[in-house]
Amino acid sequence: MEKGKFIVFEGLDGSGKGTQINLLVEEMKKRGRRVYQTAEPTESSTGGMIRDALAGFVKRDEYELSALFLADRIFHNANPKNGIKQFLERGIDVVCDRYYYSSFAYQGIDADLDWVMSLNLGCPEIIRPDLCIFLDADIDICDDRIGKNRFSREIYENKETQCMVRQRFLEVFKRLENSENIRIVNAARGISEVSSDIIEIYDSVK
């Protein structure tokens, strides 16, 4: 049986990932694909620990956070009930909101980037995506969207950090350009314009 495709969305907080993921998944289903939509951090117990840290309830250092994201990601891939691996093997496509690129861009600022990258890329349980779509928008636009839609801000949701995170994403994408299929999409436009670009990219990958 043909394996499913594994597509990851990345972007700054407030870049519109949620909306664009829903639109792509809808389009894929219309075309008769079976799709499993998922996100990191997951709903696992490790995911809960991560969320407490992101909310600022528990203070954790960036190495500790990197390891928690790694453990959550291994679970996300390998668990037999709803792990990414078994869906792909059954021919089901997987669309994931954030993946290891986020660990590189967020934790890779205060933790050693090479260390974070080698933990993730060197782990045989962590599957490499077929496509990563990065929604790139101006920091101010993202910050406005965070302000409007959120009740409170998480530890990374301030302009200064978001600016460093964006730089890190772009730097990491350069480093991975020969080994991964990463596409940067200008997300500072209307929802349908961005969406049709994404569908075009999706079509070119199959």
Structure tokens at 7: 């597509």
Cα(116)–Cα(100) distance, integer angstroms: 9
For residue 106, state whether it binds ligand TYD (rule: CB under 6 A).
yes
Least distance to ligand TYD, CB of residue 73, Å: 7
For residue 93, state whether it binds ligand TYD (rule: CB under 6 A).
no
Find tokens 């993202």 and name the residue: 142
For residue 103, state whether it binds ligand TYD (rule: CB under 6 A).
yes
Burial class (CB in 10 A: 0-12, 13-18, 19+), 83: buried
Least distance to ligand TYD, CB of residue 166, Å: 12
Q: Which is nearer to ligand TYD, 27 or 154 (CB)?
A: 154
Q: Which stretch binds ligand TYD (CB under 6 A): 79-87, 103-111, 179-187, 193-201?
A: 103-111
Q: Of residues 8, 46, 83, 98, which one binds ligand TYD by CB under 6 A?
A: 98
Please report, as residue ranges, which positions from 153 to 192 form the binding site for ligand TYD (by CB under 6 A).
Answer: 154, 156
Dihedral-angle region of residue 16 (phi above 0 means left; psi in -120 to 50 means alpha; beta otherwise): left
Structure tokens at 120: 């993730």
Q: How many CB atoms lie within 10 A of CB 193?
A: 12
Q: Which is nearer to ligand TYD, 13 or 136 (CB)?
A: 13
Q: Which stretch binds ligand TYD (CB under 6 A): 84-92, 97-105, 166-174, 198-206?
A: 97-105
Angle between helices 45-54 and 62-78 (to 10 degrees): 150
Smallest CA-to-CA distance from 127 within 63, 182, 180, 202 is with 180
Q: Which is nearer to ligand TYD, 32 or 122 (CB)?
A: 122
Binding residues vs ligand TYD (CB under 6 A): 13, 17, 40-41, 54, 69, 97-98, 102-103, 106-107, 154, 156
